[in-house]
């Protein structure tokens, strides 16, 4: 599995398992299945309430901690300096681990100075509690504010799929050595019926999901599809095993439907 460099201590596998809306035994089974198939990257968040299920699945897998890449996220309401420190330590207990590979600010919060939040992230990294620092749902202006603190931002996890192609944001991230992770990479299922995707699935003898995920991966965008279905988990894992032609990558890139699916009331994508 290809990995992308975040910093001297962390490389992120280009495909991971998303776990939003996975809880209880369904979550534990999905993660166990994914780890059995070969996934080594699991995306979680405090807000998903599933750290303990992840810990149980990891324990049952028998895998060593250093074989895994675990991401979690701190919610926008807990971004005061001390809250960040306390939250990260609680996550370690819930996940039964002594470090996180990547910790993200889940959503920006303009009422808390970003330098206060990021200084706590930097402290956690210095202490070895986390290996890499990142953000999520950050627009270019928000990233500029974060970068102005001089804390090393290695990752921006944003909604990205054929019908929401955030190419400008990707270009900005490339210029600043920030790896982009695509959340809702198959458009929560919606992008799997797009005519271009269906045509390419036929042409390559792949599934629509494999075409969409390969489009992301081929641009060095990390993809974290969520699935509770073993067949889909397997199918998504195999999306790294072929290559779309440059022409077909471009055909998908031209779709750009501005179809944003995750847009909670508190979000502000205009600044
Ligand atoms: N940072 C953020 O604010 C944020 C926001 C949203 C999501 N995320 C992260 O990104 C992950 C993925 O995003 P998402 O869950 O919104 O959407 P997604 O991964 O694009 O789509 C998930 C949906 O697609 C279906 N699916 C998955 N693989 C499939 C396949 N091969 N064939 C057919 N259907 C398939 C799943 O159903 P089945 O379960 O039945 O397969 C599920 O209904 C989340 O789980 C979470 O970890 C982060």
Nearest CA to ligand 1 atom 30: 232
Specify which residues 100 forms β-bridges with: 130
- Quote the mean pLDDT of the chain: 97
In a domain, 256, yes or no: no
Nearest CA to ligand 1 atom 8: 183
The DSSP output letter for 164 is: B
Instruction: For residue 110, count other CB atoms closer than 10 A to its CB.
Output: 11
In a domain, 24, yes or no: yes
In a domain, 64, yes or no: yes
Q: At what angle do helices 246-253 and 195-204 cross, to 10 degrees?
A: 160
Q: Which residue has the tokens 């999520």?
A: 136
- What's the CA-to-centroid distance between 123 and ligand 1, angstroms? 32
- Which of 12, 15, 18 for mutating ligand 1's site (highest number of atoms within 8 Å of CB)? 18
**What's the pLDDT tens digit per position in 202-254?**
999 999 999 999 999 999 999 999 999 999 999 999 999 999 999 999 999 99
87: domain CATH number? 3.20.20.100
How many domains would you assign to the chain?
1
Range of the domain at 30: 11-190+221-228
Query: Residue 71: is it exposed, middle or buried by C-beta count within 10 angstroms (0-12/13-18/19+)?
Result: buried
In a domain, 202, yes or no: no
Cα-based torsion angle of the residue sequence 101, 105, 154, 146 in order, rounded to the nearest 10 degrees: -150
Question: Per-residue pLDDT for 257 more than 90?
Answer: no
Catalytic site residue 48? yes
pLDDT at 51: 98
In a domain, 118, yes or no: yes
In a domain, 135, yes or no: yes
**What's the pLDDT tens digit per position in 39-88?**
999 999 999 999 999 999 999 999 999 999 999 999 999 999 999 999 99
In a domain, 269, yes or no: no
In a domain, 161, yes or no: yes
Three-state SS at 27 = helix
Nearest CA to ligand 1 atom 25: 189
């Amino acid at each position: 599995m290809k990995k992308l460099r975040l910093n001297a201590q962390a490389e992120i596998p280009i495909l991971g398992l998303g776990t939003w809306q996975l809880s209880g035994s369904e979550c534990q089974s999905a993660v166990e299945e994914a780890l059995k198939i070969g996934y080594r990257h699991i995306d979680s968040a405090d807000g998903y309430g599933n750290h303990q299920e992840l810990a149980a699945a990891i324990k049952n897998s028998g895998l060593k901690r250093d074989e895994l890449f675990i991401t979690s996220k701190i919610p926008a309401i807990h971004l005061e300096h001390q809250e960040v420190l306390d939250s990260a330590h609680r996550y370690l207990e819930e996940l039964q681990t002594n470090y996180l590979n990547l910790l993200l600010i889940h959503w920006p919060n303009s009422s808390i100075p970003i330098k206060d939040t990021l200084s706590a992230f930097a402290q956690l990294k210095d202490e070895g509690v986390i290996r890499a620092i990142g953000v999520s749902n950050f627009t270019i202006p928000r990233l500029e504010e974060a970068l102005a603190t001089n804390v090393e931002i290695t990752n921006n996890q944003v909604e990205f799929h054929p019908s929401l192609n955030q190419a400008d944001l990707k270009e900005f991230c490339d210029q600043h050595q920030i790896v982009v992770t695509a959340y809702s990479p198959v458009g929560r299922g919606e992008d799997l019926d797009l005519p271009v995707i269906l045509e390419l699935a036929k042409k390559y003898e792949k599934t629509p999901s494999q075409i969409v995920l390969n489009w992301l991966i081929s641009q060095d965008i990390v993809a974290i599809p969520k699935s509770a279905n073993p067949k889909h988990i397997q199918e998504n894992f195999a999306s790294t095993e072929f290559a779309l032609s440059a022409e077909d990558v471009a055909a998908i890139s031209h779709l750009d439907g501005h179809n944003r699916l995750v847009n909670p009331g508190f979000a502000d994508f205009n600044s």
